[in-house]
Each structure stands twice: as structure tokens, then as C-alpha cells.
Amino acid sequence: MALLQLQGVTKAYDELCVVDDLDLKVHKGELRCLLGPNGAGKTTTIDLITGRQKVTSGTIALEGTVITNWPEHARVRAGLGRKFQVPAVFKGLTVRQNLEAAFNRITNPLRNMLVLRDRAATERVEEVAGVVNLKDRLSDRADVLSHGETQWLEIGMVLTQNPRLLLMDEPTAGMTTQETHKTGEIFNALKGNHTLLVVEHDMSFVRQIADRVTVMHMGRHLAEGTIAEIEGNDEVRRVYLGHGKGGQHA
């Protein structure tokens, strides 16, 4: 059984169909990259999976449970974690405090204090900080981090909740080449134990991380396969590859 399955998912605004009858399966432990030109419907697809937008038709299932009409918070509790393209961290807090805030889902302030002193919570925060290359920055405020480190912090904030499925929307946007490569190392360390669906446009990064690649075009499923199969697909090359940054564009 697929961890995530979309069947006939469509999102339309009056006459405009942004996602058109999309089928997609992502299996447990897989790292799937979602590619396509601008306007292909990639981010909208992520929005539909997380409940940020409502589907017009079709079904979305998480490990066989249909979550199509669930609100966003219920999907988070069911195990969906999302990182947006623009980092959303607490700039005035330290790296540790950001990770603690993300780890804790309890709203009662007194219970917050008790939870954050819990050894398991501390160990989880330090474990995640190590995974995202920030263990030496735990005491630093988020506003002194580089752009890449800020992206890693938000990835860590998602990871603290140990989601079943991580949804990443252009996680390397604005990163240096070195930061992008380190991000690839982080993702490669995650896959297998975690399942990831990544919207990305940097083909060198996709080559570094992807198990399988799905290409969208004009809201529809265009092709799917290994990175080698995708790069050798004539239709994909026609509509996507060979345009934009470094020969490719999203």
C-alpha cells in the first residue's frame, strides 16, 4: 500500500484547471521529486495534500485513510509535515528554542514548561539539530543564521514532529552551491526512515537525492521514472528540460 495516494485529483477555478485529474503514489521510505515548468501545478498539488486548498474532485489517502476533506490541523496530526519555500522561523529565538517550539504541540503554558524540560524532548531536539547540521548553533539566535542555515532550521522544525510524510517546496531556493549540496546530504540521510515529496527545480540537486521523479505539465501527470529515465524522455525534454537556470527551470 502506498503511503500517499492521489486519485483523479483536480483543482479548478471556474474555467481554469490548475491540477487536472492527477494520479500519484508515493511509497513509504521513498524520496520523490516533483518537477515541472512554472504553472505546472506542483505547489498547488502540495497545497491540496496538506489541506491548504480544497480539491474540486478526486481523493487523497494517507496509508489507505481518505483525508480529502480533512482540515489542515487534522492532517498534521495524522503525520503530514510541510516546509514552505520561504522559511518561517522565530527570528528572536535561539535555534534550540525554535526546535523546542516546533516539537511541542501543547498550548497550555504550564504544560509547555514541563514538556520542554522532559529528557526525551531535549534528546529529540539535539538529535534533529545534528541531522540538519545545526548542533553547534543551538544557542545562536535564528536571526544570525545564514539563509541556508535558516532553511535547515525550518526543515529541523518539521522533523521534530517526526511526520510520516515530509512535503518540501523548493527547499534549496536561494542557497549557495555548497549549502545545496549539504541539503542533499541531509535528505539522503532522511530517506528510508522518512518519506519525502520534494518540489524542486535544481536538476543537480534532484540528481543527488531522487529515488523517483514525477513530472507535471499544465496540471497533468506527464512522466514518471528514475532521473535517468526522465532526462532521456523526449516529451519531458521538450516541455521542461533545457530551459532556465543551468539549462533547467521549474
Q: Whole-model pTM?
A: 0.88
Per-residue pLDDT, 190: 93
pLDDT at residue 156, rounded to an integer: 94
CA atoms within 13 A on the CB side of 120: 5
Q: Hey, what's the cell of 114? A: 514541563
So what's the pLDDT on residue 105?
A: 55
Cell numbers 516539537 correspond to 103
**Predicted local distance difference test score (pLDDT) of residue 109:** 45
Task: Choose among 161, 168, 177: nearest CA to 86.
Answer: 168
- 3-state DSSP percent of the chain in helix, strand and coil, to 5: 40, 25, 35
Task: Give the pLDDT confidence of 174-212 residue by residue, as tens digits.
Answer: 899 999 999 999 999 999 899 999 999 889 999 999 999
Write out residues in the chain with pLDDT < 70, as ranges.
85-87, 105-117, 241-250
Say what the pLDDT of residue 107 is.
44
Closest-CA residue to 7 (of 27, 26, 22): 22
* Nearest-angstrom CA–CA distance, 236 and 250: 12
What is the reported pLDDT for 244? Answer: 40
